[in-house]
Amino acid sequence: MSSKQATLDPTDLWGLALGAVLFEMNGYDAANNYEIEPTEENLEAIRRSLKRGWGIESTEDLMNNLRWLQEEGHRTSFYEMRSFLSTLSMADQSAFLETLPKNTEKHMQYILVKAYMHKLPLAGIAAWDFGRYVDLCRMGAFVGYISEETSWELIRKVAVVAQESYSGWLEYGISYVAGRQFWLGTISEEKAKQHTDYVRSLVLNKDSLWRRLDWNLKLVDEEEAEEAAEAEEVEAEAVETVVVEKEELEAEAMETVVAETVEVQTEAVESEIAQAEPAEVTAKDAETEHIEVATEEAETETRQK
């Protein structure tokens, strides 16, 4: 992380704040916007951490993990479990939990989903995925897997989604803690309290990013948003045009193939008919000659008699 981070504008600070719980847990300094001193020891420690925790050893590995967090993450499993439980009555939910092997990860996760399903917003534990996404972006830039610019571009995009998903920092923090519990697959009061304390500190400490930054801070300039939307619409229309043209070309090619196939088959049938006709005529002629010969022999026999 470069020294430029000390002069981040509010929108980038807001995005950085999404990873605050994890940054605080790792002992990074909020007063320095969670910047890490770029020593060889720190670089090697972060590389080892990325490899051990994520299997990340390259830019490609990093981008694959970021894509998974953005598109799926642990929230997908939470959604699926919550959707299933929501179809059951309270009694049936309890009965279902009794059918699961006790103290297994799946059993614990269902218990957590049942406990949180009516306490979290529709986004569920997405905060957990967003926080880890921001952390990976910053750690990836720190070790050089992506550039500083790319790191902040990625964070800005997920920040907009996060802001639309929750109503404030407290709700985001609670969802983050729930997500971490779900990820652990265990129900530990001690670990839950540890992360709840981090959230409480971020909400109450007047010097924290969460207290310094309004949740509803405008993250995207309206004109820029409109221009981006128009650009996406133009791109979508262009893609649609290409798809339509491709489909039309494929349809024309298919019609040509069908027509040629029919023509070939017709010629083959006509050829078979043409080859069969002389044989049929010859057979008829032979049959006629046979009848004529038989008639002549019969007449000869009659005259002889």
Same-domain status, 235 and 119: no
Mean pLDDT, rounded, of the chain: 82
Residue 191's pLDDT is what? 74
- 21 with 179: CB under 8 angstroms? no
pLDDT tens-digit readout, 179-202? 999 999 987 777 778 889 999 999
Three-class SS state of 167: coil
Same-domain status, 197 and 290: no
Classify burial at 223, counting beta carbons within 10 Å of its beta carbon; exposed 0-12, middle 13-18, buried 19 or more. Answer: exposed
pLDDT category of residue 256 using cuts at 50, 70 and 90: low
Q: Which of 184, 205, 220 corresponds to the end of one domain?
A: 220
Q: Which percentage of the chain shows pLDDT scores above 70?
A: 70
pLDDT above 60 for 64: yes
Give, in degrees to the nearest 5, the angle at Cα 54 between 51 and 105: 135
Backbone angles phi, psi at 60, to 5 degrees: -60, -45
Same-domain status, 74 and 197: yes
Same-domain status, 68 and 195: yes
Task: Name which of 7-16, 35-44, 185-194 the model is least confident about.
Answer: 185-194
pLDDT tens-digit readout, 112-153? 999 999 999 999 999 999 999 999 999 999 999 999 999 999
Q: How many domains does the structure of the chain reveal?
A: 2
Q: What is the full DSSP assignment across 27-75?
A: T--GGGTT-----HHHHHHHHHHHHHHH---SHHHHHHHHHHHHHTTTH
Same-domain status, 61 and 101: yes
Q: Which percentage of the chain shows pLDDT scores above 90?
A: 63
- 59 with 165: CB under 8 angstroms? no
Same-domain status, 12 and 156: yes
Q: Which of 170, 202, 220 corresponds to the end of one domain?
A: 220
Same-domain status, 199 and 232: no
Same-domain status, 215 and 232: no
Q: Is 230 left (phi over 0), alpha (psi -120 to 50) or beta?
A: alpha
Same-domain status, 141 and 109: yes
pTM of model > 0.75: no
Domain carrying residue 276: 226-304
Same-domain status, 297 and 172: no
Residue 274's pLDDT is what? 57
Same-domain status, 213 and 135: yes
Q: Which of 220, 242, 267 corresponds to the end of one domain?
A: 220
Q: Which amino acid is at 35?
A: E
Same-domain status, 16 and 107: yes
pLDDT tens-digit readout, 167-179? 999 999 999 999 9
